[in-house]
Structure 1
Amino acid sequence: MTFQILIDRFIIYLKYYFKAKTIYHIQSPLLFDFISNVFDQDQSYYAFYTIDAAYDSISNSQKTIPTDEFSNSHQQNGKSLAQFASTAASPKKISYDLFRLVEFQKAKAILEMGSCVGLSSLSMALVSNDCAVTSIEGNAFLAQESRELHQRFGVKNIKLHNQLFSQFFESRNNEKFDIILIDGDHNYQSTMNYIRHCLSALNENGIIIMDDIHWSKEMYKAWLEIQSMTEFTTSLECLRWGILFTNQNLSPQKLCYIKTIYKPWQIGLFA
């Protein structure tokens, strides 16, 4: 990672911080309910113990990602699975939020673009056996490791495809999804290309989650353009995610949310 990338990322986070508002600034009852149930609560679930155990399982792995065309082009080859997961996989707290989000949305069909090591798909699938998760991963080794992780913890409602994203959308049989999580190919052009495919695969009132929107200038540029698309009624910019809503009951708005702990003066009467 170059010094310039670090500077770019710092500037992006700074912009986010200064415009972000706490939950006390959220006027929409629907979005207030969404945020309070997904981000602003500390309720723990029994499934979190399974998520913790899955993280421990990956962090203790001694396996190494083999070299092939895909891993080489994505700078994954030669890294241990544990080392790769420490930087590429979402932190536990994000997986907890993902679990809460899926539960709150009562999602029955989910598409994950980018399985990584299988932790996010496992976290979403643990919400309910009735929730079908489809996960796409281009790296054959990571796809197999994800399958083994799911099997190890007895999770059977995940269908994992070792395909490129473009191949999946070409072969998709008109499946529709309540939630689509985009967590792969972190660059501007790829993200812009896939968002149209995602829209065509989204159920009415479905949501799209873009991961790592503050990761780079390219990802942030993509986020700013996508949130202005007329297909989305509301966008919610968070510390890590960009969430796009299609619910017609939401008034058109672009919101930027931050936890109260990071802006404690924005509470109650002082908001």
Structure 2
Amino acid sequence: MFLRPIFRYFFAAQNEHGLHSPFVFDLYLNTIKKDTLKPRFEAIEALRNEMLQSRETLTITDFGAGSKVNASPVREVRDVAKHSKKSAQLGRLFYRLIQHFNYSTIFDLGTSLGLTTLYLASAKPDAHIFTFEGCPETANLARRNFEKIGALAPIEVIVGNLDETLNAQVAAIPSIDFAFFDANHRYEPTVRYFETCLTKAHENSLFVFDDIHWSPEMEAAWEYITQHPSVTVTIDLFSVGLVFFRKKQPKQNFVLRWRFWR
């Protein structure tokens, strides 16, 4: 089922040589492609390896589209880590984006084990991370992981159905600088969460959507978002999509080459 989106992506994707937008050219060449390793990342990846070996069990409360590989509500942590993890490369990309734009108010819609959240919290110690998790047992494990690593930026874990918790938190803050949408891989909730957070987006905000080619529903949601009148620039990296609201930029949608599988 996923061969067609992958083939479409590789056929359409370009590198910096075909870019005529100075903003996207600089972002792509100096932030998206320019991967870096930091000593901080070693501790996060050591924790990932620990999670991949853990036989601890969790009773999963799932408000999203569910797992495609394990529908059981009782799962070992190693199973959750294997099938729901985001790559270290993606975490490093978020780290660079947050540093590049100097973001402070960060929303993480989908905590899971907290590994990607730790990358977000490592980028800017004076940022404030709001991370949302529907499953209480998963949230408790994520909190333990934050304490074990020692998150550099404050992390507030908000537990419960995102349909109920997101509106209240969005209403409580003045603006959202960066938001990562990884909570519910279905069309209607994805669009609804986007429009809720959009009320606090500003000129320099960045929204990142996970798994935009995961299913026909997610591709439809991504198409809706790219065409939204508030959105000016989007970048399809296959595994994630970047969304900008820069009013001085012409409306353009880019598909750029990125080694998302590492």
Q: Please, what TM-score do these two structures have when normalized by structure 1?
A: 0.87
Looking at structure 1, the residues matched to 62 and 32 of structure 2 have their Cα atoms a distance apart, in angstroms, of 38
Correspondence for 2:214: 215
Deviation per residue, 1:224-257 (Å, 9 max, x gap): 1111001011111112111110012322101110
Post-superposition offset of 1:203? 3.3
Correspondence for 2:40: 47
Aligned positions of 1:161-200 closer than 5 A: 161-172=158-169, 173-175=171-173, 176-200=175-199
Looking at structure 2, the residues matched to 237 and 31 of structure 1 have their Cα atoms a distance apart, in angstroms, of 12
Q: Does the Cα contact within 8 Å between 1:12 and 1:214 map onto a contact in 2?
A: yes
Post-superposition offset of 1:43? 2.5
Q: More displaced, 186-195 or 131-140?
A: 186-195
Q: Does the Cα contact within 8 Å between 1:23 and 1:260 map onto a contact in 2?
A: no
Query: Which residue of 80, 88, 94 maps to 2:90?
Result: 94
Deviation per residue, 1:166-223 (Å, 9 max, x gap): 2123322431210011001101111122111010132332011000001111101110
Aligned positions of 1:140-151 closer than 5 A: 140-151=136-147
Instruction: Provide the alpha-carbon RMSD of the alignment.
Output: 2.2
Deviation per residue, 1:150-172 (Å, 9 max, x gap): 01011151111112212123322
Aligned positions of 1:71-90 closer than 5 A: 75=71, 77-90=73-86
Correspondence for 1:265: none
Correspondence for 2:135: 139
One-letter amino acid matched to 2:163? S
Deviation per residue, 1:82-141 (Å, 9 max, x gap): 111111110111111111111112111100111011011110101121011100000111
Structure 2 unaligned residues grouped into runs of 5+: none
Correspondence for 1:225: 224
Q: Please, what TM-score do these two structures have when normalized by structure 2?
A: 0.90
Is structure 2 residue 59 aligned with structure 1 residue 66? yes
Deviation per residue, 1:38-76 (Å, 9 max, x gap): 321132222221221221232222211215575996636
Looking at structure 2, the residues matched to 96 and 69 of structure 1 have their Cα atoms a distance apart, in angstroms, of 27
Looking at structure 2, the residues matched to 33 and 250 of structure 1 have their Cα atoms a distance apart, in angstroms, of 14
Q: Percent identity?
A: 22
Looking at structure 1, the residues matched to 158 and 122 of structure 2 have their Cα atoms a distance apart, in angstroms, of 19
Query: Which residue of 99, 102, 105 maps to 1:106?
Result: 102
Q: Does the Cα contact within 8 Å between 1:67 and 1:77 map onto a contact in 2?
A: yes
One-letter amino acid matched to 1:97? L
Correspondence for 1:248: 247
Q: Alpha carbons of 1:67 and 1:224: their partners in 2 closer, same or farther (altered >3 Å)?
A: closer
Query: Which residue of 150, 154, 159 maps to 1:154?
Result: 150
Is structure 2 residue 12 aligned with structure 1 residue 19? yes
Q: Does the Cα contact within 8 Å between 2:106 and 2:179 map onto a contact in 1?
A: yes
Q: Alpha carbons of 1:66 and 1:15: their partners in 2 closer, same or farther (altered >3 Å)?
A: same
Aligned residues between the structures: 255
One-letter amino acid matched to 1:241? V
Q: Does the Cα contact within 8 Å between 1:65 and 1:76 map onto a contact in 2?
A: no
